[in-house]
Amino acid sequence: MLGNFTYCNPTRVHFGQDALDKLGGELANYGSKVLLTYGGGSIKRSGLYDQIVAILQDCGKQVFEMPGVMPNPTVEKLYEGCKVAREQNVDLILAVGGGSVCDYAKAVSVSAWCEEDPWEKYYLRMEEVDNPIIPVGCVLTMVGTGSEMNGGSVITNHTQKRKIGHVFGSNVMPRFTILNPTYTYTVPMRQMVAGIYDAFNHICEQYFSGTDDNTTDYIAEGLMKSLVHSSREALADPHNYEARSNIMWAATWALNTLLAMGKTTDWEVHMIGQSIGAYTDATHGMTLSAVSLAYYRFIMPYGLAKFARFATNVWGIDPAGKTEKELAEAGLDAMEAWMKELGVAMNIRELGVTEDMIEGIADGTFLMTGGYKVLTREDVIAILRASL
Amino acid sequence: MLGNFTYCNPTRVHFGQDALDKLGGELANYGSKVLLTYGGGSIKRSGLYDQIVAILQDCGKQVFEMPGVMPNPTVEKLYEGCKVAREQNVDLILAVGGGSVCDYAKAVSVSAWCEEDPWEKYYLRMEEVDNPIIPVGCVLTMVGTGSEMNGGSVITNHTQKRKIGHVFGSNVMPRFTILNPTYTYTVPMRQMVAGIYDAFNHICEQYFSGTDDNTTDYIAEGLMKSLVHSSREALADPHNYEARSNIMWAATWALNTLLAMGKTTDWEVHMIGQSIGAYTDATHGMTLSAVSLAYYRFIMPYGLAKFARFATNVWGIDPAGKTEKELAEAGLDAMEAWMKELGVAMNIRELGVTEDMIEGIADGTFLMTGGYKVLTREDVIAILRASL
């Protein structure tokens, strides 16, 4: 651990089958006007919407609604939410849904009182927030993004073909989050595995970087082992509470800033994946899985020792009789086998990417500097072609 | 992860060689009256005292001092601190030192405005805090207790021969903590290893409990591996910054509530150790090391699967050809060998415990219910005799 850092994560997490019982107590900390935001009809079908509205009413809240938040929330939807939040002068934004809804709530939170175009200020220019922030609370129904306990917010601009994530500070993190693993039971299998891979990849992005010894890399290995173990149980029985609860909590810690403390991080898989997302609107976790193996095999020679450690410490591969390279390759092979078990997308063609999009996706890919190799545009193109 | 829980840890941690540069910014959040509390003269010899007083003066603070906090802070010292804090109506308590000083600061924080005897209310009766709490900040100089990022506070009453820890809620946790690993360089080797074992045992106390699968147990294994790895480097070279920084951060996470989420925990080693501490005033970490092996070997049959997992996942012991019991024993043997490498106390006789104290120590030992076996008084006596 050679880097200096400040760690602060004030989000209060209520976890478990009875977690929603804590919502009323949390609501008491805020004023009367609540903007309730959510996605499609799933929370209405499951009855969660009715439960939450009843709690809001019991607490005497005046509820404004912003439904229809899409999987990759758009800048137009952001403007729409800002208008309501500002006109009604809301005291709290309550997000009910998956990572996109949480991301969206945070985007509205920082943007509603922004005097400029928030897309330009907070996404294109990535500036610090200098206007009032509306507090956010979350009720999570889908696992993977970690948005429930971090300051991250990804917004998509289809006109500009840009999907940009801004990781805001601890003042933008949700004030509270309700995590009830049973809410994730009704998520379709394809979404469940995409979320599991999203969480796993968040860990990879922070793990596959740096050469110093770091406590957080040991924590990362533990989280990866827990995710792999529980994902197999959840595949066999999606209603296995123990498995779904472990996945939910591991996914939260995969991206709540702890793993990045004191070390460099990569995030190139996310950069490529987000650029694919801007072209295809494919499920986020699937855009990551589809390019991960090509990417990690491409950078493996530049971080060989870490990939060899990954093989042993995460996948339990015996190093005896193997060169470091063989060991490292065996680790990625084990990861590939697990990804196939999960049933995540293994190439970008199945996400709708065609040969003619490759150059545009590469142009829209941010080139990060924290990984084992700083990619060139040509490297990105090579990885995308290898992922077709 | 089968248990419900609420997780919240709002402490802002500034970590690294330049962490003290953040103190001024933190101080700006509080009023002008600061109670500076510390132990003996080590921070004066190291120059840290002068640095901190200069920062306090630059920030225009009026400084009141409470020096002389002893390794196991006493109830008489608590009353003394409360008197100053209350009479001067201080706005912040700044603890500079190790876990005892941080524990002490939190004790004063909750006790200064307590209308009853705080020893009785908050330690003997373990009541919730219902009076104003004075904010606490920490500058840590010694690693091990985790007090820098939790609500725990242990106070000793020599008259009553009781050493009691109360784990207060997130409102009592330090508002900020400065962690600079170089401050720990000057700690004598015996204190360093006691701190490392204290941190390791905090993880054991939370790990050796429960039979369900739990994400936090995987995190615990990672933290234990990191501590073992870095402790060996620190033994070889106490000025190895990488090692000392990993130990410092792992020790913080060993006891900042995360590892206990969603699971039962044990804490019987601490209960026995604290009772020994009340009789001998021995270094806390050494009281733990001196009884740990006898305790874990005593309870091993009741939690065999977890001890076998410990052997493989923490110590890398190959299970091939071993019964579960042999594997479990090999894990504790590996732990014993590492403890001898560290040079921690391996029996209670060397801490000054004599045969005639055994019954009294057993009488002063709280019997916890979260571990693999609920001990009887006779069990405690058997463990103490095996530790002599």
Closest A-chain CA to B2? A242
What pLDDT score does B281 carry? Answer: 81
Question: Does B175 touch chain A if contact means CB atoms closer than 8 Å?
Answer: no
A4 in contact with chain B, both atoms CB, cutoff 8 A: yes
Structure tokens at A319: 């190093």
To the nearest whole number, what is the mean pLDDT of chain A?
A: 96
List domains and CATH numbers for chain A: 12-183 (3.40.50.1970), 189-386 (1.20.1090.10)
Find the closest chain B residue to A318 by CA distance.
B318
B302 CB within 8 Å of a chain A CB: no
How far is the C-alpha of A144 from the C-alpha of A96, rounded, in Å?
Answer: 15
Task: Give me the mean pLDDT over the A227-253 stretch.
Answer: 97
| B11 with A8: Cβ contact below 8 A | yes
Q: Which residues pair with B139 in a beta bridge?
A: B96, B178
Q: Write the DSSP assignment of A116-146 as a string of letters.
A: S-HIIIIIIS-PPP-S----EEEEE-S-SS-
Task: Give the gap in angstroms from C-alpha B384 to the nearest C-alpha of chain A.
Answer: 34
CA distance A38 to A177: 15
B15 and A5 within 8 Å at the Cβ level: the answer is yes
Distance CA B235, CA B225 (A): 16
Does the pLDDT value for residue A67 go beyond 90? yes
CA angle A296, A299, A302 (to 5 degrees): 140
State the ipTM, two decimals.
0.96
- Alpha carbon dihedral A183, A186, A191, A194, in 10-degree steps, equals 50
Helix axes A324-342, A304-315, angle to 10 degrees: 50
Chain A residues 257-276 within an 8 A CB cutoff of chain B: 261-262
Q: Is the pLDDT of residue A186 over 90?
A: no
Q: What digits encode the pLDDT tens for the residues B39-80?
A: 988 999 999 999 999 999 999 999 999 999 998 899 999 999
SS3 B119: helix
> What's the token pair of residue A366?
């941010």
pLDDT digits (tens, 9 = 90+) for A328-357: 999 999 999 999 999 999 999 999 999 999
Q: A35: helix, coil or strand?
A: strand
Whether B241 has its CB under 8 Å from any CB of chain A: the answer is yes
The answer to whether the Cβ–Cβ distance between B215 and A17 falls below 8 Å is no
- Would an 8 Å CB–CB cutoff place A9 in contact with chain B? yes
Flag if A9 and B7 touch (Cβ within 8 Å). no
Gap from A271 CA to chain B (nearest CA, Å): 28
* pLDDT higher than 90, residue B186: no
- Name the residue of chain B whose CA is nearest to A175's CA: B8
List Cβ neighbours of A117 (8 Å cut-off, separation of 6 or more): none
Closest CA to A150 of A115, A111, A199, A222: A199
pLDDT tops 80 at residue A1: no
Q: What are phi and psi of A92, to 5 degrees?
A: -155, 140
> Nearest 5°: CA angle at B95, between B89 and B98?
155
Percent of chain B surpassing pLDDT 70: 100
Q: Give chain A positions within 8 Å (CB) of B21.
A: none
Q: What is the mean predicted confidence (pLDDT) over B240-253? A: 98
Contacts of A219 in chain B (CB under 8 A): 219, 222-223, 226, 253
- At A287, list the tokens: 């855009």
Nearest to A246 among B22, B213, B241 (CB): B213
Decide if A213 and B11 are in contact by the 8 Å CB cutoff.
no
Token pair for A224: 């990866």
Q: What single letter denotes the amino acid at residue B262? A: G
B13 shares contact with chain A (CB less than 8 Å):
yes
Given a cut of 80, whether residue B315 has pLDDT beyond it is: yes
Question: Is A13 an interface residue toward B (CB < 8 Å)?
Answer: yes
Distance, in Å, from the CA atom of B335 to the CA atom of B338, rounded to the nearest integer, reads: 5
What per-residue confidence (pLDDT) applies to A335? Answer: 98
B367-378: average pLDDT: 97
User: Within an 8 Å CB–CB cutoff, is residue A214 touching chain B?
Assistant: yes
Encode pLDDT of A11-56 as tens digits.
999 999 999 999 999 999 999 999 999 998 899 999 999 999 999 9
Least confident of A173-182, A303-312, B161-170, B283-292: B161-170
Q: What is the token pair recorded at A41?
A: 């009809």
Mean pLDDT, rounded, for A271-275: 94
Do B67 and B38 contact (CB within 8 A), yes or no? yes
Work out the burial of residue A93: count CB atoms within 10 Å of its CB; fewer than 13 is exposed, 13-18 middle, 19 or more buried: buried
Mutate to test the interface with B, among A241, A247, A249 (most CBs of B within 10 A): A249
> Which residues of chain B have a CB within 8 Å of the CB of A228?
none
User: Phi, psi (5° rounding) for residue A371?
Assistant: -85, -175
DSSP state of A91: S
Tell how many helices (H) and how many strands (E) occur in chain B: 15, 8
Partner residue opposite B245 with nearest CB, options A1, A18, A221: A1
Taking the C-alpha atoms of residue B204 and residue B220, their distance in angstroms, rounded to an integer, is 8
Structure tokens at A361: 């996706």
What's the average model confidence in pLDDT over B195-211? Answer: 97
The confidence score (pLDDT) of residue A281 equals 82
> Of the candidates A1, A6, A214, which has its C-beta nearest B12's C-beta?
A6
Query: What is the rounded average pLDDT of the residues B343-372?
Result: 96
| Pairwise CB contact (< 8 Å): A12 & B13 | no
Min Cα–Cα distance to chain A from B371, Å: 20
Interhelix angle for B268-280 vs B189-207, to 10°?
A: 140
A6, closest residue in chain B (CA to CA): B14
Q: What is the pLDDT of residue B372?
A: 98
Chain B: nearest CA to A238, how far in angstroms? 15
Residues of chain B contacting residue A241, judged by C-beta atoms under 8 Å apart:
2
3-state secondary structure (DSSP) of residue A51: helix
Which candidate from A219, A223, A242 shows the least CB-CB separation from B213? A242
Residue A2 confidence (pLDDT): 83
- Mean pLDDT of all residues belonging to chain B: 96
Tell me what pLDDT residue A278 has.
Answer: 85
Contact residues for A13 (Cβ-Cβ < 8 A; gap 6+): A148, A149, A176, A177, A179, A252, B6, B7, B8
Q: Read off the pLDDT band of A161 (50, 70, 90).
A: confident
Nearest to B246 among A1, A8, A12 (CB): A1
pTM equals 0.96
Kindly tell me if the per-residue pLDDT of A267 is higher than 80: yes
Whole-number pLDDT of residue B161 = 84
Contact partners, residue B229, CB within 8 Å, separation at least 6: A213, A218, B246
Rounded to the nearest angstrom, the minimum Cα separation between B176 and chain A is 9
* Alpha helices (H) in chain A, listed in sequence order: 23-27, 42-46, 48-58, 75-87, 99-111, 118, 189-207, 215-236, 241-254, 268-280, 284-299, 304-315, 324-342, 358-363, 377-386
**For residue range A191-216, what is the model confidence (pLDDT) as tens digits?**
999 999 999 999 999 999 999 999 99
Nearest to B22 among A6, A223, A261 (CB): A6
User: Is the CB of B21 inside 8 Å of chain A's CB atoms?
Assistant: no
Closest by CA to B231, choosing from B316, B99, B343, B102, is: B343
Q: State how far the alpha carbon of A175 is from the alpha carbons of A51, A94, A112, A135, A149, in Å.
A: 20, 10, 17, 7, 9
CB B35 within 8 A of CB B69: no
And the tokens for B162?
A: 């009781």
B237 touches chain A (CB under 8 A): no
Q: How far apart are CA B195 and CA B146, in angstroms?
A: 10
Cross-chain CB nearest to A221 (options B10, B212, B222): B222
B229–chain A Cβ distance below 8 A for any pair: yes
CB contact under 8 A, B8 and A6: no
Q: Which of A64-68, A233-237, A278-282 is the least confident region?
A: A278-282
Chain A nearest CA to B276, separation (Å): 32
Residue B250 contacts A, CB cutoff 8 Å: yes
Considering CB atoms only, which of A13, A215, A225 is closest to B246?
A215
User: pLDDT band at B182, cuts 50/70/90?
Assistant: very high
A245, closest residue in chain B (CA to CA): B1
* Residue closest to B329 by CA, chosen among B370, B296, B291, B371: B296
